[in-house]
Amino acid sequence: MIVECRGAWYGGPHDAGTAVSGRRVTVEEALLALVAAVAIGLLFVGLTDALEGDVRARLRARRRRLGRRSPPARPRPEAVPARPPAPALARRPTSTPRAVETPAPAVGLDRKEVPEWRERAATLMRGREWAEARGVVESAVATGDMSPDSAGFLLEVCSTATARELWRLRRAQRRGAGDEAPLGGALETARALLDCEPAMGLPAEVRNRMGRRLWRGHTRLGLRRWREGDFDSAVVVLFEALAVPGLGDRRRALARDLLVRTLEDMAGQRLELIPQPLGDGDRAAALEQAQRLLAHVRRAREEGIAAEDLAVAAARARQLLEHLEQTPVR
């Protein structure tokens, strides 16, 4: 059977009309091409399934294979010999109560051995009555009633109370207020305890802890007074901070730098305010201020502060004296 393919054909400018193609396709060739196309499609689908695979089908097949396997034989547990019967426990007679041991009294904690003045001093410190507490401490030191144990106990109480006073003053400063008198009283009491003879033999840790509290309190007060412009009081407190025993190099350097800055500002303030007492004819008051400034500079040198660090304060003090000498007496 022969199939003829006819259709429009354009053979060029000299084409006269419809022409017949030069090649004919038989039915067998068409069917063979169709079968080849179907085979190629099935082959492609089979390769795709083989490459991708069905995960669930593989899991099911694996379960079936595992199910057909016989479980491994487990060894039989050996026979455990039976325990012999436990003997009956002997019970204590209920008629006789169990004896209770009375603890021995702790050594050094007998309330009768604690002196009354020590309890009173501790109560006054906790109640922030620092003037009375210091009086009790000084009286005990003078009469010889102060022992190393009492000194250590009161130092711990005073150290805790001083830390609380520092916290109260710092909190009050945030509100723009605050009374520094309680902290000053605590520092004076702590210094009296730290400098007494019975406290000299205390462990270094106790003394150093109290010394750090003293340094922090004096520095805080000095900084507060320096900001307020009260340089005379600030210098006195900063000298106390510099004289605290057992200070490290860092704390000593901080106190020294703050003292030098305060002396410089104090000398500058004196130069600005010196015309007022001179104008009022009070030359003695102006001369006393200048001499006090010079005394502070000399003491700072004795405390170990270098002369170059005090150069500005010393130069302003000399300038102040020269101004006084050049001003005629009225």
Q: Which of 234, 324, 237 lies closest to 288, judged by CA?
A: 324
Does 175 or 158 have the greater pLDDT score? 158
List, for residues 17-54, the tens digit of each pLDDT value: 444 445 566 888 888 888 888 888 878 766 665 555 55
pLDDT(109) > 70 = no
H helix intervals, the chain: 27-52, 55-68, 116-126, 130-143, 148-174, 181-195, 204-228, 231-242, 249-273, 275-279, 283-302, 311-326
Name 70's Cβ contacts closer than 8 Å, sequence gap at least 6. Answer: none
pLDDT(263) > 90 = yes
The model's confidence at residue 58, banded by pLDDT at 50, 70 and 90, is low
What whole-number distance in Å separates Cα of residue 287 and Cα of residue 321?
8
Residue 100, CA distances (Å) to 93, 97, 105, 252 in order: 16, 9, 15, 58
Largest CA distance in the chain: 153
Report the pLDDT value the prediction gives residue 95, as an integer from 0 to 100: 45
pLDDT(325) > 80 = no
Does 183 or 10 have the greater pLDDT score? 183
Mean pLDDT of all residues in the chain? 77
Whether 137 and 154 have beta carbons less than 8 Å apart is answered as yes
Radius of gyration of the chain from Cα atoms? Answer: 52
What whole-number distance in Å separates Cα of residue 267 and Cα of residue 255?
18
The model's confidence at residue 15, banded by pLDDT at 50, 70 and 90, is very low
Q: What is the pTM of this model?
A: 0.59
Residue 56, CA distances (Å) to 63, 74, 216, 307 in order: 11, 32, 77, 93
Rounding to the nearest 10 degrees, give the CA dihedral for residues 76, 82, 83, 85: 160
